[in-house]
Amino acid sequence: MDGVTRIVIIGGGPGGYEAALVAADLGAEVTVVDRDGLGGAAVLTDCVPSKTLIATAEVMTTFDSSYEELGIKVGLDSAHDTGRVVGVDLGKVNRRVKRLAVAQSHDITQSVTRAGVTLLRGHGRLAPGGQGVDGSRGVLVDLVDGGTQELRADAVLIATGTHPREVPDALPDGERILNWTQVYDLDELPEELIVVGSGVTGAEFAGAYQALGSRVTLVSSRDRVLPGEDPDAATVLEDVFRRRGMNVMSRSRAESARRVGDKVEVVLQDGRMITGSHCLVAVGSIPNTAGMGLEEAGVKLTEGGQVKVDRVSRTSAPGVYAAGDCTGVFMLASVAAMQGRIAMYHALGDAVQPLNLKTVASNVFTDPEIATVGYSAADVECGTMDAVCVKLPLRGNPRAKMQGIRDGFVKLFCRPGTGIVVGGVVVAPRASELIHPISLAVDNNLTVEQVASAFTVYPSVSGSIAEAARQLHIRKRGGH
């Protein structure tokens, strides 16, 4: 095997398995060390499961909110009308969620093994002693089946992800007090769900369970839901939540949660207490970097335990790279995968383009969805980017009217002189699909004139993107 570069990847999530495929394609000898199954949290407990659950909720929301307006008649027995048009079998939904997650993990495993990658089931850590005389590093693997195996690597990629952060006085029991990895074990729909945390995870689950039929209370320590998102978008979503009956408690920090029989009591910092049948704690995540010998090997971590990396995924230790949520760069599977690929391109001497976060598209899978790319309103407000903005409500879009869409907008940002599109926000059903033309514009430095001149289908919701570009073209020139 002389001349073959040895790569060891610790963690089989998007950052890890995508890196493995690239490294194998470039001719490296690749070993992936993973404990729980390829795909990581993104496939097994996070993105794939949650979006599968949300897909069911989306169908119910669309039907509940639009069937009368669209002229659909449902044969309900008025004597037994519960007020809901459709119901849900949560046990069946969750069984489907788990089945799809396992199938996706299996597909990834097959792709990686076909590429010639070796898989080891276990917990990997850097061996003490630093680099050897040949520049390689040791990796110790505590195997799931017992025993320890040592590997030598010319480059190591740390892609170990995160796990849910816990509140000391609200520890999950897996039955009534839950973190987001445990909700898929529920057989019955929570009657009254208290969601603690109004970030992306909290908002997504709160909206989904509200749509499925739970009575939901969302406890937010901030002034509004989704404090990290576009303020106009967050306002639309919070208004929709409240209109659909959700109890949104702003500026309310949860201090503890305890189980009392078949109920959960959540005590707030100001002494108020709220009661529900279940409580979901979604207050962020902690990187899986402890006990891996990273700092001893010269890998610098942040105070929160994230691995510090540069734009080509290098850590402070030679030959050690990191990718994904454990770096805290951008908590998205797409970014993790890109970080992993970039790391391998760099380690194996291939052409590499450093990570550019201003071209990353992200989406919050609530209803309506919130998709963003590029520079934001906050960037413009603080002076990071000089840009002109147009926000176009969807209520005037003909296709939106046909589909009964009342909430949402398209927002575009462009440079005042050149008209180059530098950012955008879409709030709409399937905003995750509608953001792509704006992503193309941002990534390729297209102008609002170019976006406006491209043909769109009539009628279509995407037509609002072109219309916003036309209005922005007029505004940047000083028109009205």
Read off the pLDDT band of 62 (50, 70, 90).
confident
For residue 245, which of 421, 103, 99, 83 has the smallest C-alpha distance? 83
Cα–Cα distance, 9 to 177 (Å, whole number): 34
Query: Nearest 10 degrees: CA dihedral of 23, 26, 28, 31?
Result: 30
Instruction: Give the separation between CA 314 and CA 337, rounded to whole angstroms.
Output: 15
DSSP 92: H
* For residues 277-282, average pLDDT: 98
Residue 284 · residue 198 · CB < 8 Å: no
Residues 307, 327 contacting (CB under 8 angstroms): yes
Better pLDDT: 76 or 54: 54
Specify the residue for token string 């922005």: 472
Question: Could you tell me what percent of the chain has a pLDDT over 90?
Answer: 86
Mean of the pLDDT values across residues 217-240? Answer: 96
**Amino acid letter, residue 387:** A
Please state, in angstroms and as integers, the Cα–Cα distance from residue 264 to each residue in 121, 207, 419, following that order.
Answer: 37, 20, 54
Residue 46: pLDDT band by 50, 70, 90 thresholds? confident
- Residue whose C-alpha is closest to residue 5's, from 137, 142, 140: 137
d(CA 193, CA 259) in angstroms, rounded, equals: 13
Average pLDDT over residues 433-461: 97
Q: What distances in angstroms separate CA 111 from CA 24, 105, 114, 345, one per listed residue? A: 11, 10, 5, 19
Q: What is the mean pLDDT of residues 74-99?
A: 74
Two tokens, residue 415: 């440079």
Whether residue 432 has pLDDT greater than 90: yes
Pick the more confident residue, 80 or 336: 336
pLDDT at 352 over 80: yes
Q: How many CB atoms lie within 10 A of CB 420?
A: 18
- Read off the DSSP letter of residue 388: E
Least Cα distance to 205 among 362, 56, 85, 373 occurs for 56
Task: Determine whether 147 is exposed, middle or buried from the number of CB atoms within 10 Å of its CB (0-12, 13-18, 19+).
Answer: exposed
Instruction: Judge whether residue 3 has pLDDT over 80.
Output: no
The mean pLDDT of the chain is: 93
Q: How many CB atoms neighbour CB 391 within 10 A?
A: 16
The residue behind tokens 């109920």 is: 263
**249-265: string of b/e by CB count within 10 Å (b at 16+)?**
beebebbebbeeeeebe
**Averaged pLDDT, 158-167:** 96
Q: Is the pLDDT of residue 71 over 80?
A: no
Q: Which amino acid is at 287?
A: P
Torsion of CA 84, 85, 91, 93, to 10 degrees: -130
Copy the structure tokens of residue 456.
């769109």
| pLDDT for position 66 | 64
Give pLDDT, residue 11.
97
Contact 239, 217 (CB under 8 A): no
Pairs from 239-246 (Cβ < 8 Å, separation ≥ 24):
239/407, 240/367, 240/368, 240/407, 241/206, 241/207, 241/210, 244/210, 244/211, 245/210, 245/215, 246/206, 246/207, 246/210, 246/216, 246/217, 246/218
pLDDT at residue 1 greater than cutoff 50: no
- Give the separation between CA 446 and CA 247, rounded to whole angstroms: 42
Mean pLDDT for 250-254 is 95
Report residue 470's pLDDT band, with 50, 70 and 90 as the boundaries.
very high
> What does each C-alpha distance from 392 to 424, 469, 470 come to in angstroms?
11, 10, 11
**Under 8 Å CB-to-CB from 442, ≥6 apart: which residues?**
358, 359, 373, 374, 421, 422, 423, 424
Dump pLDDT digits (tens) for 97-138: 999 999 999 999 999 999 999 999 999 999 998 888 888 999
Alpha carbon distance 294, 350 (integer Å)? 26
Predicted confidence at residue 80, as pLDDT, reads 46
d(CA 201, CA 366): 10
pLDDT at residue 85, rounded to an integer: 59
What is the per-residue pLDDT for 413?
Answer: 98
Q: How far apart are CA 108 and CA 115, in angstroms?
A: 11
Round to whole Å and give the CA distance between 31 and 119. Answer: 6
Q: Up-side HSE of residue 231: CA atoms within 13 Å toward CB?
A: 7
CA dist 314 and 381 (Å) reads: 32
Two structure tokens written together for 287: 């990187």
Residue 397 has pLDDT above 50, yes or no: yes
Q: Residues 87-120, buried b or exposed e (16+ Cβ, 10 A)?
A: ebebeebbebbbebbeebbeebbeebeeeebebb
